[in-house]
Amino acid sequence: MIKPNGNIEHMNYHQFIKTKERNIQPSGFSDDVSGYGLFDFQEHLTSWALEQGKSAIFADCGLGKTPMQLVWADRIARKFGKVLIVSPLAVSDQTVREAKKFGIDGVKRSKNGDTYRITVTNYERLHYFSPDEFSGIVCDESSILKNYAGKTRQAITDFMQKIPYRLLCTATPAPNDYMELGTSCEALSIMRRVEMLAMYFIHNSGSTQAWDLKGHAADVFWRFMALWSRAMRKPSDLGFDDGDFILPELKHNLITVKSKPLHGDLFPVEALTLNDQRAERRSTLDDRCKAVADIANSNDDSFLAWCSLNAESDCLTKYINGAVSVSGSDSDDEKERKMMEFSDGTIRCLVTKPKISGFGLNWQHCNQMSFFPSHSHEQYYQAVRRCWRFGQENDVTVNIVTSEGEIAVLENMRRKEVAANAMFDSIIKHMTNAIKNIDNTYKPNRKMEIPAWLNV
């Protein structure tokens, strides 16, 4: 290696590789987060996030990301000034209620750009605010960023760049969506997304959106991730006692309705192509919705009916007693009102789509739901976790309603679920090992007296 003064410095291969690794220095401060009533692992993560200055917490549903981000925001506000919390639709009011529960003052919701000590708003209203007014920002359910169009996502990222203290909070990211990790990385000014992908990944030629981790880069990548993020599915992943954070049983009830012959066929056949699967879904729509209604109408308990098509939403609302649907054509205020009324029990049965209500909402009061299979494991996962989360006191039943012709869709969803669970375990394992390697780095802090004979 040639130094600036022209001298040549010799190094071995491992030293050379070390020079290529990113060295991300913390930009935050140490602070006391006791006294808020957080669990031990929550205090640990919140303190770490404050010390980092810019960080991401990937914690599974129900582990208390909201109280952690509120305490983080409170400490930043005490020291530097106003903080903005940005969350999905209908989660804002939920965040304000949580603040009162944990005794954090000055937390108010804003829809029009008014700012407070800690301002809570949703992503759709971010354009009303100026980043110059805030010392800190929290992006709640930050994985939702990938659902926005490129221009909107970039606008949110650009907004964050001007704020010194930043925190991203979301459930464990989609296991094969490394572009999502790149978006988080760029939002925190750690590294540009395209740079991260080029450094650690190779493009999968079979898909325009797929990236595979380079084999030789795996350990280095997870060490890089551990410099600015923490991932966990349960407290024991970070060395803490799981305590009450043990989920109740998740039960699956599979209901298969009979298929009808599609146009040109004498008998029903398995729908293998996307076009055939869409046709199959339309032809069995009424029977599938009636099957869901039979379950939902069998008692007066809260019920959550997930769907993907507007026609499914209309049909479910028609057949289920007292059902209310949340549709894309509703105004933001109308969507929020309906979701809040389901939360407080005013609405018994809510019909909605994962892309509308699948992020951030706490619906532990409900333990019965229905789901029509799709090819998106993440939509299924997020939908189920609205109810099956820490704090749920009852076993949760997911009624999966499909048709004979949609078996391929169901099998694909199950395959992705198995792969996702395996990858989640891998993420936690790699992240835990990377954290240990970082924490075990030798940092001399005492002066050593060298024997005189060594100085000869």
Q: How does DSSP assign 409-429, residue by residue?
A: HHHHHHHHHHHHHHHHHHHHH
The per-residue pLDDT for range 228-237, each reduced to its tens digit, is: 989 888 899 8
Give the model confidence (pLDDT) of 241-268 as tens digits.
998 788 899 999 999 999 877 666 656 6
Q: What percentage of the chain carries pLDDT values higher than 90?
A: 46
Instruction: Please indicate, yes or no, whether residues 322 and 360 belong to a single structural domain of this protein.
Output: yes
Residue 360 reports pLDDT greater than 90: no
The reply to whether 149 and 163 lie within a common domain is yes
Return the pLDDT at 273. 78
Note the pLDDT of residue 290. Answer: 96
Mean pLDDT of 63-80: 95
Query: Domain of 273: which CATH number?
Result: 3.40.50.300
CA distance 194 to 103: 41
Across 5-19, 41-55, 158-172, 327-341, which has the greatest mean pLDDT? Answer: 41-55
Shared-domain flag, residues 338 and 396: yes
Same domain (yes/no): 325, 190 = no
Query: What tokens appear for 73 in the block?
Result: 């925001």
Helix (H) or strand (E) holding 285: helix 285-296
C-alpha to C-alpha distance for 325 and 292, rounded to whole angstroms: 14
pTM of the model: 0.80
C-alpha–C-alpha distance, residues 245 and 60, integer Å: 11
Same domain, 263 and 231: no
**Averaged over 279-308, what is the pLDDT?**
93
Residue for token pair 């980092």: 52
CB 380 within 8 A of CB 374: yes
Supply the pLDDT for residue 86. Answer: 94
Are 294 and 237 within one domain?
no
CA distances to 13, 86, 135, 202, 298 from 382, rounded to whole Å, are 44, 19, 31, 28, 26
* Tokens 């199950």 -> residue: 414
**How do strand 54-59 and strand 118-122 relate by DSSP bridges?**
unpaired
Domain boundary at 211, 228, 244, which?
A: 244
For residue 150, is it within any domain? yes
In a domain, 24, yes or no: no
Write the single-letter amino acid at 377: H
Could you give the 3-state DSSP secondary structure of residue 349?
Answer: strand
Q: How distant, in Å, are the alpha carbons of 100, 266, 279, 375 from that of 285?
A: 44, 20, 10, 17
Q: pLDDT of 99-135, one tens digit each?
A: 999 999 999 999 899 999 999 999 889 999 999 999 9
Angle at 175 between CA 170 and CA 177, to 5 degrees: 85
CB–CB of 164/133 below 8 Å? no
- The reply to whether 420 falls in a domain is no
Q: Which domain CATH number covers 176?
A: 3.40.50.10810
DSSP of 358-417, one letter per residue? Answer: -SS---TT--EEEE---S-HHHHHHHHHTTSSTT--S-EEEEEEEEGGGHHHHHHHHHHH
Mean of the per-residue pLDDT values of the chain:
84
Does some domain include residue 188? yes
In-domain check, residue 21: no
Beta-sheet strands, E only, within 195-282? 201-203, 211-213, 229-232, 250-257
Q: Same structural domain for residues 66 and 212?
A: yes
271/172 same-domain check: no
The sign one gets for the Cα dihedral 223, 170, 354, 145 is: negative
Residue 434 in any domain: the answer is no
Domains contained in the chain, number: 2
**Domain region containing 61:** 39-244
How far the first Cα of the chain sits from its last, in Å, is: 30
User: Model confidence at 442, in pLDDT bands (50, 70, 90)?
Assistant: very low
pLDDT digits (tens, 9 = 90+) for 313-357: 999 999 999 999 999 889 988 999 999 999 999 999 999 999 898
What's the pLDDT tens digit per position in 180-210? Answer: 788 888 889 888 888 888 888 887 655 556 6
Radius of gyration of the chain, Cα coordinates, nearest whole angstrom: 25
Four-residue CA torsion sign, 386, 390, 392, 398: positive
Check if the beta carbon of residue 284 is closer than 8 Å to that of residue 312: no
pLDDT tens column, 49-65: 999 999 999 888 889 99
Determine contact, residues 172/60, Cβ cutoff 8 Å. Answer: yes
Same domain, 319 and 206: no
In a domain, 194, yes or no: yes
Is residue 395 assigned to a domain? yes
358 in the same domain as 273: yes
Which contacts (CB < 8 Å, 24+ apart) does range 413-418 have? 413/373, 413/374, 413/375, 413/376, 413/377, 413/380, 416/375, 416/377, 417/377, 417/380, 417/381
